[in-house]
Amino acid sequence: MGIPPRVLTVAGSDSGGGAGIQADLKTMLALGVHGMSVLTAVTAQNSRGVQGVWELPAEAVRAQFRSVVDDIGVQAVKTGMLASVELVETVAGLLAEVGARFGAPVVVDPVGVSKHGDALLAAAALDAVRTKLLPTATVATPNLDEVAWLTGVRVHTESDLRRAADAVLAHGPRWALIKGGHLAGDAVDLLTDGTEEHWLRAPRHDNRHTHGTGCTLASAIAARLAQGRSVPEAVTDAKDYVTGAIAAGFPLGDGIGPVDHGWRFRVGGG
């Protein structure tokens, strides 16, 4: 039996199971890769919001990373919640090393707040994300709020997405995927490396249960990159996967429910 591609997520834990490490590993399983994890923070979190956040020491993050990478190896890495300046800088250094050693692509989801609006990144860490983390990224996947925090560019219409992408690319990622899900109308994203442009559109589903969409999309991109897809192919497939997961999202608790990471199993897809 062949060994599946190995994908590492470096992110926080969501005790409610809808986002973070839990969403990442579910996505990776659904797309046929072996998921591995480096935990950066623990959250007390449910459908109503985040009740508490406890970041791990940089030493613990570094030890988890070394333990996995030095023994098992990795074909792609995805980052999510990094919480603090120290963790951003620690992870950025580890990613630069992995890129040089394995040539593994890196998907950076610059998580700033939860779906409920709870802060998951210290304001002081924004500069470290810009100068240390984004330059390691094969693909950066900010939503419109994250674009505004990182670059100051505010997107109000689809025509603003190019300007947002240029501002993100100026910080060093090879590709920027600007997620336009907060705009009115169809869910439209722009993927560009500054030369090529790929406009990705999907119908907007009447479903409020969208917890974990950003984590899920970034993890799906990493999974497809680990399987040898090009960046445009990986992002296009990941967009299709997350669109289906949103359509199948379900209520859980009293607030915002999760997307359904296993929707393809239930509809007979592959």
pLDDT of residue 115: 56
pLDDT of residue 120: 62
Mean pLDDT, residues 211-227 taken together: 97
Query: What DSSP string runs through the chain?
Result: -PPPPEEEEEEEEETTSSSHHHHHHHHHHHTT-EEEEEEEEEEEEETTEEEEEEEPPHHHHHHHHHHHHHHT--SEEEE---BSHHHHHHHHHHHHHHHHHH---EEE----B-TTS-B-B-GGGHHHIIIIIGGG-SEE--BHHHHHHHH-----SGGGHHHHHHHHHTTS-SEEEEE-TTSSSSEEEEEESSS-EEEEEEPPPS----BTHHHHHHHHHHHHHHTT--HHHHHHHHHHHHHHHHHT----TTSPPBP-TTHHHHHT--
Only one residue has tokens 């907060």, namely: 182
**Active-site residue 262, yes or no?**
no
**Active-site residue 179, yes or no?**
yes
| pLDDT at residue 185 tops 60 | yes
**Active-site residue 157, yes or no?**
no
**Active-site residue 213, yes or no?**
yes
Mean pLDDT, residues 75-97 taken together: 94
pLDDT of residue 224: 98
Query: What DSSP string runs through 209-224?
Result: --BTHHHHHHHHHHHH
| pLDDT at residue 184 tops 80 | no
Of 17, 112, 212, 244, which residue is the catalytic one? 212
pLDDT digits (tens, 9 = 90+) for 241-267: 999 999 999 999 999 999 999 999 986
Only one residue has tokens 């989801």, namely: 109
Chain Cα centroid distance, residue 232: 16
Find the range with the poorest average confidence among 92-96, 185-189, 242-246: 185-189
| pLDDT at residue 238 tops 50 | yes
Of 115, 215, 243, 249, which residue is the catalytic one? 215
**Active-site residue 255, yes or no?**
no
Of 213, 216, 236, 243, which residue is the catalytic one? 213
CA distance 229 to 107: 14
Find the range with the poorest average confidence among 68-77, 159-168, 175-184, 219-228: 175-184
**Active-site residue 243, yes or no?**
no
Predicted confidence band of residue 33 (pLDDT cuts 50, 70, 90): very high
CA distance 41 to 79: 12
Chain Cα centroid distance, residue 189: 14
Of 141, 210, 216, 243, which residue is the catalytic one? 210
Of 78, 115, 132, 179, which residue is the catalytic one? 179
pLDDT digits (tens, 9 = 90+) for 97-155: 998 888 999 999 998 755 555 556 667 788 899 999 999 999 999 999 999 999 999 99
Of 214, 244, 249, 257, which residue is the catalytic one? 214
Mean pLDDT, residues 78-94 taken together: 94
| pLDDT at residue 268 tops 60 | no
pLDDT of residue 270: 46
